[in-house]
Amino acid sequence: MTKIFLLTVLMAASGLQARAQNPLAPRVLVVFDRHVKDSLNVANHYLASRGIAKSNLCAVTPPETVTQLTWLQYVSSIKTPIQKCLNFVGPNQVLYIVLSYVRPFSILGQNGKVYALDQYVADIWDEYSTTDANPYPKQTHPYFAENRAQANVYQRFLSFADYRAQSGALRIYSVWRLDGATPALANGMVDKALSAETKGLSGQACFDRQFGAITGVSDTSYGAYEWDLHLAATLAAQAGFSVTEDQNSQEFGTLPAPNCPNAAIYAGWYSLNHYNDAFTWNTGAIGFHLDSLSAMDPRGGTNWSANAIQKGITITSGAVSEPYVTALSHPDGVFLHLFRGGNVGDAFLRNSRWLKWMTVNIGDPLYRPFPGGLAPFNGQTPLSSLAIVQ
389: confidence class by pLDDT, cuts 50, 70, 90: low
By CB atoms closer than 10 A (0-12, 13-18, 19+), residue 38 is middle
pLDDT digits (tens, 9 = 90+) for 314-368: 999 999 998 888 889 999 999 999 999 999 999 999 999 999 999 999 999 999 9
**Mean pLDDT in residue range 226-249:** 97
134: confidence class by pLDDT, cuts 50, 70, 90: low
pLDDT of residue 130: 82
Comparing 3 with 156, the larger pLDDT belongs to: 156
Is the omega angle on the peptide bond into residue 298 within 30 degrees of 0, that is, cis?
no
Q: What angle do CA 215, 219, 225 make, to 5 degrees?
A: 100
pLDDT digits (tens, 9 = 90+) for 70-99: 999 999 999 999 999 999 999 999 999 999
* pLDDT exceeds 80 at position 8: no
Q: What share of the chain in percent tops pLDDT 90?
A: 84
The span from the CA of 306 to the CA of 308, in Å, is: 6
pLDDT of residue 111: 82
Can you give the pTM of this predicted structure?
0.93
Comparing 362 with 270, the larger pLDDT belongs to: 362
**Mean pLDDT in residue range 155-164:** 97
User: What is the pLDDT of the chain when averaged over all its residues?
Assistant: 91
* pLDDT exceeds 70 at position 3: no
pLDDT digits (tens, 9 = 90+) for 42-65: 999 999 999 999 999 999 999 988
* pLDDT exceeds 70 at position 251: yes
**Mean pLDDT in residue range 19-46:** 93
Residue type at 54? K
Sheet strands (E) in the chain: 28-33, 57-60, 69-70, 96-100, 106-108, 114-116, 153-155, 174-178, 204-208, 242-246, 260-268, 279-289, 316-319, 359-362, 387-389
**Mean pLDDT in residue range 289-298:** 94
Task: Collect all residues with Cβ–Cβ distance below 8 Å to 288 and sequence separation of at least 6.
Answer: 266, 267, 294, 304, 305, 316, 317, 318, 329, 331
By CB atoms closer than 10 A (0-12, 13-18, 19+), residue 42 is buried
pLDDT of residue 13: 42
* pLDDT exceeds 80 at position 15: no
By CB atoms closer than 10 A (0-12, 13-18, 19+), residue 380 is exposed
* pLDDT exceeds 50 at position 137: yes
